[in-house]
Every structure is written in C-alpha cells, then in structure tokens.
Amino acid sequence: MGRWSREVAPHFVEWLGGSGGSPSGGAGIDVGCGTGILTAAVLEGANPERIVGIDSAPGFLELARARVSDPRATFTQGDALALPAPDDTFDLAVSGLVLNFLPDKAAALSEMARVVRPGGLVGLYVWDYAGHMQIMRHFFDVASALDPRARDFDDGVKAPVCRPSPLRELFEGAGLQGVEVRAIDIAAAFESFDDYWTPFLGGTGSAPKYCMSLDEPAREDLRERLRARLPTGPDGEILLAVRAWAAKGRLAGAR
C-alpha cells in the first residue's frame, strides 16, 4: 500500500491548511510516523519550524531518517498511547494510516490532543477499508464468498473506526472542536492482473497474511475468481478507486 499512501499524504496536508490549519512557523508531531511519508509531506506542504516523528518500531525510524534529511525533522521511538512529550508542546499533531492498528483509539486521540497547544490542530487519516478502498474490497469480497474465515482478516470488519461517524465521535470525545471529516480519493492503476495480485503474496498485511494461509489450490481459486471480477481494460490494465477518510479538529481555549 506504500505507493498509494505516498499519494494521499500531500492531499491530506493541503486539506489541513485549507481552513487556516497550516502549522507554518510552528511545531508538529507525526504519531506513528512509519517510514516518514507524512512527515515529509508536512515539511513540504505546511513548512513548520520543526516536526517530530514518533514510532514504536526502530526499523521504521531508521527508514524515516534515511528518507527525510530535512534538519527540521527528528525521529524518536515512542508509544502513540503515551507520547514522549509534555502538554501543550505542538501546534499540530497528525497521524497517517495508523489509528486502526492502535488498541485504544480514544486514548490515542486524547494523547494527540494533550500534546497540542490550545488553538492547535489535530488531524489524521485512515483507509476506507469497508467501502471505496477497492484494492482490498474486491479481494475480501471474493475471499469471504469462498471462505467465511476470510472475515477474520478483513479490516473492513475488524476496523469499524475507519468510517466518518466513528471518527467524528472520537475527535469530539477528545475535546476537539470544529471537527470535519472528508474523503480523499485517488486512482490506483495496475498495468496488469499480476501487478495487482503479486503484492498479496508478500505475507505482510491482513490480506497477504490470509492469502498465504491458503493451500495452493485454494489460493489459485481465489486468484482466478478475482481475475474474473476486476474491471480490466483492453490491454489488461486495471483501474481501481482508493479512498481514505480524513478528520481534523482544533483544541480551543485554555486548559
């Protein structure tokens, strides 16, 4: 999913600034920064004085440091549910494609709000697993029809927070005001069916883990049924929709 997350991040940052949300001249934190995709987008699109990327995985932090050479960025190991920062430290707290992996979503939002100064902005985005994330939706709709066990891997079922109403409720529950939720849609183009199918054989992520748990005949059956289902152009190209839900809100008033 990395190639699509790289496309979503700049759209998200542009939207943050669309209502006066740019942290230009301020400080930001990227919670669950991973390999630094969103950190880099914030640096380019919002021009903060500094930004701190937080992640629990040392390997991701090493990749982020290699990706983002801007001296305004630093990367630190930490827990999204207990951010290593005092209250009222940042003007902006963001997170990209992380919330559904956290065991306590409300605590994560509360932590993001805690480290933001009054008047600061909190924003994040998640994949629309249950709807227009068609890369995954086609896969799990076919897989679930063949094998009910596939639902145990389906993030559209396992991550109900990845919808507008739950996101809004989480933000409001964290004391954030003026909450907005919107869809960010991009096109996902594949040169061929094999270009679409091969990543499912990698074993990393919910769909690949399910795919590689199958024996070879079951996996081949899934493969061919997916091939028949996907919209395919005259030269074998496949064009799908990819949607993320983004949410933002401000911390208002003094603590």
What are 37-94's pLDDT values in tens digits?
999 999 999 999 999 999 999 999 999 999 999 999 999 999 999 999 999 999 999 9
User: How many angstroms separate the CA atoms of 234 and 21, rounded?
Assistant: 44
Mean pLDDT of 24-46: 92
Burial of 25 (0-12, 13-18, 19+ CB in 10 A): exposed
Measured between alpha carbons, how far is residue 89 from residues 15, 26, 187, 219 in Å? 23, 10, 37, 50
User: How many angstroms separate the CA atoms of 6 and 125, rounded?
Assistant: 13
pLDDT band, residue 252 (cuts 50/70/90): confident
First to last CA, the chain: 39
Instruction: For residue 49, count other CB atoms closer than 10 A to its CB.
Output: 12
Classified as helix, coil or strand, 50 is: strand
Per-residue confidence (pLDDT) for residue 158, from 0 to 100: 83
Statement: residue 159 has pLDDT above 90: no
Q: Which of 32-46, 195-209, 211-225 has the lowest mean pLDDT?
A: 195-209
pLDDT band, residue 20 (cuts 50/70/90): very low
